[in-house]
Structure 1
Amino acid sequence: MKHTIRDLKRVSRSRTPYRAKQWFKWLSPGLSLKRWLVVSATGMVLALLGIAIWTRLTPVYYLLQFVEVALTTIATRIPNYISGPLVVISGILLLLWGQTRTMGSIHDALKPEDNGELIDALMERRRLHRGPHLVALGGGTGLSTLLRGLKTYSANITAVVTVADDGGSSGRLRREIGVLPPGDIRNCLAALGDEETLLAELFQYRFQAGTGLSGHSFGNLFLAAMADITGDLEQAVVASSQVLAVRGEVLPATLTDVTLWAELADGRRIQGESSITKARGKIMRVGCLPENPPPLPRVIEAIAQAEVIVIGPGSLYTSVIPNLLVPDIAEAIAHSSAQRIYVCNIMTEPGETDGYTVSDHILAIDRACGDRRLFDAVVVQKTKPSARALIRYAQKQSHPVDLDLDVVERLEREVILANIMSEDPQSAMVRHDSLKLARTLAQQFSGKR
């Protein structure tokens, strides 16, 4: 029994400073709480005063008379050095009890499944909404990887996603029901979700069996259905963003049904995004049909408001450049005063960027935009993968993207060398690390805001 009482006292002592610290957080500047509490209290006083005036002060008179009698009685029978502290303590206890229950009710309503503190959640929300306005362009897994890290630094994110995909589940839906390919958009929505909960897992779930269902993801079917209900993919994405509590917004680069094409060094002209890589030729030029598709107006607005624009990572010719084939998007980026950063791939891609250096990636983007300098800095992986990973990738004709620093400097691009790679110890697969990449980018834009 003694041990139990001692443990309870120790827990109480350790809990009290923490609770006091949490209460003081409510006084932190920028939460916009103190001013509204004062406004509310002032309003209550004015309302009561108005009622008193309206009723010719009769209730106020009787109330003051009652208080005077009560206080006189207490002061006569109980010494003031006892009654005073008792009343003060009673008032403080009632105030604390009321405030604690009020905050508990608000916490249960806003975060019913989270044991964290409401004030911490509000401060985190304030920090994210004060973050920089970011625009990220790309497609495939590269863009969703980037977004998963960036959402920890800002809630003001706009992801611009290519709609040229014609393979897998997206390609089937595109051919069968005429919807714009939803796959890359689905990945970005899941990546930007406030919390990657069971609902996000459901959005990413892929059917393994069933006639017609096998290979489709639930999110793709959901977006296709919402596009049919709402009338277009843009409205479908807005509705899905609300379901997943997305931080920021995800936008298709265009609502036009575009088809990607590529001219190869051997004279072949390959049509269709999924066919370009399979052709295994040196790509000389890429374009889309129809030419000059109009952008989504909200994309141009987001670029104009952006403080930072990030291009990549992702497949150079089939994920990154397709967004820039919308002329107005490239034009808006070229005239933007934001920091413009390209995230270069770690490894070359067979059939797409065989033998490419960092400068080759830069020049390919410049050529796609009419030989204009579209970005100012390039993020490059600092160290090479392990020997085991190099052997594994070499068997597939893939190699690290070499940094030809002298050529990149002649192109007047700033090089940001950083360790942004993660390597799976089991499979030796090399990928960009979401948090490392986001941290590297955050160091750039936080130092120049």
Structure 2
Amino acid sequence: MSIFTGQLPLVPPSGGSGSQQDAGPSVVALGGGHGLSATLGALRLLTPSLTAVVTVADDGGSSGRLRRDFGVLPPGDLRMALAALCDDTDWGRTWRDVMQHRFRGRPGGSGALDEHAMGNLLIITLWELLGNPVDGLKWAGALLGARGQVLPMSTVPLTIEGEARSIGEDGLVRTRMIRGQAECAVAGELENVRLLPQDAPACAEALSAVELADWVVLGPGSWYTSVLPHLLLPELRSALANTPARRVLAMNLMTETKETQGMSASDHLRVLREYAPEVGFDVVIADPGSVGDRDEFVAEAGRLGAEVHLARLRSRGSAAVHDTLRLATAYHEVFNGK
């Protein structure tokens, strides 16, 4: 019988990272939330050499509560990335469901665990035991049999801040300051978006992964709160601009969301060029039904240095959800120059 001493060894047991025989291209996927989960679900079918770099600016729900109460990185998007990489076995599927399980008390009750995700609690437990967010995520990945690794984009919690425009009854345009990911996500079209603290460090392991990758994939996801933040963090933006890897931008299926009101697909590309003109892309992947003015979209992609790869990506069950196999096929075609 072994007895837990209160400390974990520095190196976790190896997870489901594949062998040399089934090695594919080294791919780094950047984003957060459901968009990153969609990308990881597709990419894990193509390569075991997969790294997720995840936004850490969430301040709502369970993540926001844990961030405020414990002073930790918000774990929710990191948890979702780990769940998306779970091995497709009974073990992996069971642990995926455990990680995503939310506690809900009796009707009318207000327990301390209400709406917390089990995976969030597991992650911050590992962080407290190990004292290192990257090591904690490695242990969580090993437990789940994750096909790849998950890293935070920064080692400190970040805050998104921006200005939202609105037109008053008098017809005048006014701006108001918005702070926090939860508020920015529903604010409408944003301007002057920035991350706080402005000198926040990028995760060193994430920078190394970007430098050594064969391919870097950005998007899909909430444009201002999951995609753009990777280009706002100075060290990460520099790494993306200078990596020898080829860069792919995956577009959203829906352009009109609560944070991108009135924006076309071409407008989404202009936003990235406005905030990070030094970061180019080689390929932009999009569903034809999401593009609108195709000539304008192709021209705007060209200003990013990218060719456009159009492919049917929508799930048959929902126009707003990527089909995993269709998305994986699109990435496979891009990676192989088809």
* TM-score normalised by L of structure 1: 0.65
Task: Supply the distance in 1 between the matched residues of 2:157 and 2:279 (Cα, whole angstroms).
Answer: 28
Number of aligned residues: 305
Aligned equivalent of 1:438: 328
Aligned equivalent of 1:374: 280
Specify whether residues 149 and 353 from structure 1 end up closer, same or farther in structure 2 by C-alpha distance, changes over 3 A only: same
Task: Supply the distance in 1 between the matched residues of 2:93 and 2:46 (Cα, whole angstroms).
Answer: 19
- Answering whether residue 141 of structure 2 is matched by residue 141 of structure 1, we say no
Is the CA contact (8 Å cut-off) linking 2:86 and 2:96 kept in structure 1? yes
- Answering whether residue 108 of structure 2 is matched by residue 202 of structure 1, we say no
Task: Supply the distance in 1 between the matched residues of 2:19 and 2:129 (Cα, whole angstroms).
Answer: 32
Deviation at 1:423? 3.4
State which drifts further: 401-410 or 220-229: 401-410
Which consecutive residues of structure 1, in runs of 5 or more, have no partner in the other structure? 1-120, 385-399
Which whole-Å deviations, capped at 9, do the CAs of 1:93-139 have from their partners, x for residues lacking one?
xxxxxxxxxxxxxxxxxxxxxxxxxxxx9xx85553x2000000000
Task: Supply the distance in 1 between the matched residues of 2:135 and 2:245 (Cα, whole angstroms).
Answer: 28
Deviation at 1:402? 2.2
Which whole-Å deviations, capped at 9, do the CAs of 1:274-323 have from their partners, x for residues lacking one?
0113333x212210111031111111111111111100000000101112
Deviation at 1:372? 2.3
1:225-236 aligned within 5 A: 225-236=125-136
Aligned equivalent of 1:188: 81
* TM-score normalised by L of structure 2: 0.85
- Answering whether residue 151 of structure 2 is matched by residue 251 of structure 1, we say yes
- Answering whether residue 240 of structure 2 is matched by residue 333 of structure 1, we say yes
Q: Which has the larger radius of gyration?
A: 1
Question: For 2:216, what is the secondary structure of its paired residue?
Answer: strand
Question: For 1:341, what is the secondary structure of its paired residue?
Answer: strand
Question: For 1:365, what is the secondary structure of its paired residue?
Answer: helix
Cα root mean square deviation, aligned? 2.0
Task: Supply the distance in 2 between the matched residues of 1:293 and 1:447 (Cα, whole angstroms).
Answer: 37
Aligned equivalent of 1:5: none
Indicate which of 214, 231, 249 corresponds to 1:342: 249
Which consecutive residues of structure 2, in runs of 5 or more, have no partner in the other structure? 1-15, 166-173
Task: Supply the distance in 1 between the matched residues of 2:53 and 2:213 (Cα, whole angstroms).
Answer: 12
Specify whether residues 206 and 342 from structure 1 end up closer, same or farther in structure 2 by C-alpha distance, changes over 3 A only: same
Aligned equivalent of 2:185: 277
Is the CA contact (8 Å cut-off) linking 1:340 and 1:376 kept in structure 2? yes
Aligned equivalent of 1:58: none
Aligned equivalent of 1:53: none
Task: Supply the distance in 1 between the matched residues of 2:253 and 2:19 (Cα, whole angstroms).
Answer: 33
Task: Supply the distance in 1 between the matched residues of 2:78 and 2:234 (Cα, whole angstroms).
Answer: 21
Amino acid at match of 2:176: R
Amino acid at match of 1:438: A
Task: Supply the distance in 2 between the matched residues of 1:227 and 1:275 (Cα, whole angstroms).
Answer: 27
Is the CA contact (8 Å cut-off) linking 1:339 and 1:445 kept in structure 2? no
Question: For 1:310, what is the secondary structure of its paired residue?
Answer: strand
Question: For 2:195, what is the secondary structure of its paired residue?
Answer: strand
Is the CA contact (8 Å cut-off) linking 2:240 and 2:279 kept in structure 1? no
1:312-327 aligned within 5 A: 312-327=219-234
Deviation at 1:429? 5.1
Runs of 4+ in 1 over 6 A off after TM superposition: none
Aligned equivalent of 1:88: none
Task: Supply the distance in 2 between the matched residues of 1:332 and 1:445 (Cα, whole angstroms).
Answer: 21
Is the CA contact (8 Å cut-off) linking 1:139 and 1:161 kept in structure 2? yes
Question: For 1:378, what is the secondary structure of its paired residue?
Answer: strand
Deviation at 1:407? 4.9
Aligned equivalent of 2:71: 178
Task: Supply the distance in 2 between the matched residues of 1:134 and 1:302 (Cα, whole angstroms).
Answer: 9
Task: Supply the distance in 2 between the matched residues of 1:180 and 1:401 (Cα, whole angstroms).
Answer: 35
Amino acid at match of 1:279: A
